[in-house]
Amino acid sequence: MTTRHQIKPGQPLTIGVLALQGAYDVHAEVLTALGVTPRLVRLPAQLDGLDGLIIPGGESTTMLKFLERGDFFDILNEFVHHKPTFGTCAGCILLAKDVSRPEQKSFAALDITVERNAYGRQNDSAILHEPTTLPGGPLEMVFIRAPRIDRVGPEVEVLASRDGHPALIRQGNLLAATFHPELGHDARVHQFFVDMVRKAKETAPREPEGAAAV
C-alpha cells in the first residue's frame, strides 16, 4: 500500500467506518496503516467526536433498512452534510442526490445521478487501471456489481473515470468512488480522503481560549 504521506504530528485523526455491511474491516485496516485511528460505527452515538466517516460498499437497500431503525438515518444525514465523508460503491449510492433503476432514498449530499448495478452482476466484476488526477500514475480500481455515475453537477470534481463515466469524484468535503479501493493494493484514494479530513479539521472554527458556558 502507498503510505508515503503521513499524519502530521499533533494532528491525530479518528475516522469512522459504517459497520452495518460490506468490507468495513478492510477499510479500518487501511486507515490504521495510514496512521489514523478507525472506529467501527454501528450506532448513532458512535458518530460523536469523529473527524470523518467512510460508508463502505455492500447492498445499499440493506443498509437503508438498518439505518431506518430509530433516528439513525436522520443523524447520519446530518453528519454527511457537515463532516468529511467518503462513500464507496453502495456508499456512493447513499450519498447521491439522484438514484435510478430503481429510484431509492438517499442522503442527497452529492450532486450526482447514480445508476445502481449498471456494470452488471457479480460475475461481471473487473479490476482496471485507469488514469487519475491523483499523483502516482494509473489508479487500480476493483469493480464489483458497481454503480455508474451518469451525471455530475458543476461543483463536482472528477478524479478518475471508467469508459467515460466518472468513477472517483469529490465535492467539497465529500468523496465517492464507484469501485472498492479497500480491496486493491493502492492506498492513494484513502490517503486522499485522510488529507481531506485533516485539512477540514485544521481549518474548522475553534472556540476562543478560555471560553466557558454561561
Helix (H) or strand (E) holding 60: helix 60-67
- For the beta carbon of residue 161, count every other beta carbon within 10 angstroms: 17
Are 153 and 171 contacting, i.e. CB atoms less than 8 angstroms apart? yes
User: Which entry of 27, 92, 115, 180 is annotated as an active-site residue?
Assistant: 180
User: Which entry of 27, 115, 182, 190 is annotated as an active-site residue?
Assistant: 182
Which cell goes with 124? 461481471
Active site residue 182: yes
**Alpha-carbon gap, residue 116 to 135, rounded angstroms:** 29
Active site residue 89: yes
For the CA atoms of 99, 55, 1, 173, what is the dihedral angle to 10 degrees?
80
User: Which entry of 89, 92, 115, 190 is annotated as an active-site residue?
Assistant: 89
**Alpha-carbon gap, residue 68 to 57, rounded angstroms:** 18
Residues belonging to the active site: 89, 180, 182
